[in-house]
Amino acid sequence: MNDANTQIPQGRFEIVVSGSGGQGIILGGKLLAETAAVYQGCQAAMVPCYGPEVRGGVSTAEIIIDSDPIDYPRITRPNILIAMSQEAMDRYAPMLGPDGLIIVNTTLVEDIPEPFEHVFKAPFTEMAVKMMKTPVVANMIALGALATLSRLIAPEALKLTLEKHVPSKVLDIDCMAVDQGVKIACKAYFGWQVS
């Protein structure tokens, strides 16, 4: 499933997907890690972090993708942050290195910290509601964008993973959302490389 556009990282790679409970954050993290582990031949780990709330509260998936076996499974200095809410942005942006990539859900994030060079902004939630008639696939748009920008996973592999985890009646909508993410990311005005 490694198409020409996928680039297996050499060494350790850390990603944070964060937002609020109910946004499908943990599912998104799981899909990302599983796609890397099963289809891209990488080592992968995902740690879900959440509070006692079933809905609301900060919900975070920490994902490690590595060409070698993973010892420490938690993030130390993330390379990518998907910030689906303001709280997520505030909490995790300071952990990123200056060369990190931030993917921002501008529907729910207003303040974006200054020093970052690589910031990809899109109103994921608004797009999901407008195009797919539901906010719950905002996470899939973000993942599509991440796949394209980072080239860590192939969008088609992501869809294969989705097929295993989501009911068939919503699979089409999820895949459409991934495609939307790919589409907008292709128009990104900057190039960003897995380093």
Partner 1 sequence: MNNDNIQLMQGNRACAEAALAAGMRFFAGYPITPSSEIADFLSSALPAVGGNFIQMEDEIASMGAIIGASLTGIKTMTATSGPGFTLMQELIGFAALCEIPCVIVNVQRGGPSTGLPTSPAQADVMQCKWGSHGDYPMVVLSPSSVRETFDLTIHAFNIAEELRTPVILLSDEIVGHLYERIRIPDISNLSLIDRKRPTKPPPGRYEIYHTSEPDGIPCIPDIGTGFHCHITGLIHGKDGFPTRDPDKVRDLLKRLHGKIDSRKRRICLMEKREMEDARIVLCSFGATARSCFQVVREGRLEGLKIGGINLKTLWPFPDFVFQELPKSVETVVVCEMNQGQVAGLVRQATGNRLKVVGINKCSGTIITPGEIRSAIDRPI
Residues forming contacts to partner 1 in the complex (CB under 8 A) are 29-30, 33-34, 37-38, 42-48, 50-52, 70-74, 76
Shortest spacing between CB 159 and partner 1, in angstroms: 16
Shortest spacing between CB 14 and partner 1, in angstroms: 13
Q: Which two tokens stand for residue 183?
A: 């589409």
CA distances from 38 to 32, 34, 42 (A): 10, 6, 8
Q: What share of the chain is helix, strand, coil (3-state, %, to 5)?
A: 40, 20, 40
Residue closer to partner 1, measured from CB, 92 or 120: 92
H helices of the chain, where?
25-34, 86-92, 124-132, 138-150, 155-165, 168-186
Shortest spacing between CB 133 and partner 1, in angstroms: 30
Q: Would you call 117 helix, strand, or coil by DSSP?
A: coil
Residue closer to partner 1, measured from CB, 53 or 117: 53
Residue closer to partner 1, measured from CB, 33 or 82: 33
Question: Mutual orientation of helices 25-34 and 138-150 as an angle, nearest 10°?
Answer: 40
Shortest spacing between CB 111 and partner 1, in angstroms: 26
Residue 97: how many CB atoms within 10 A of its CB? 11
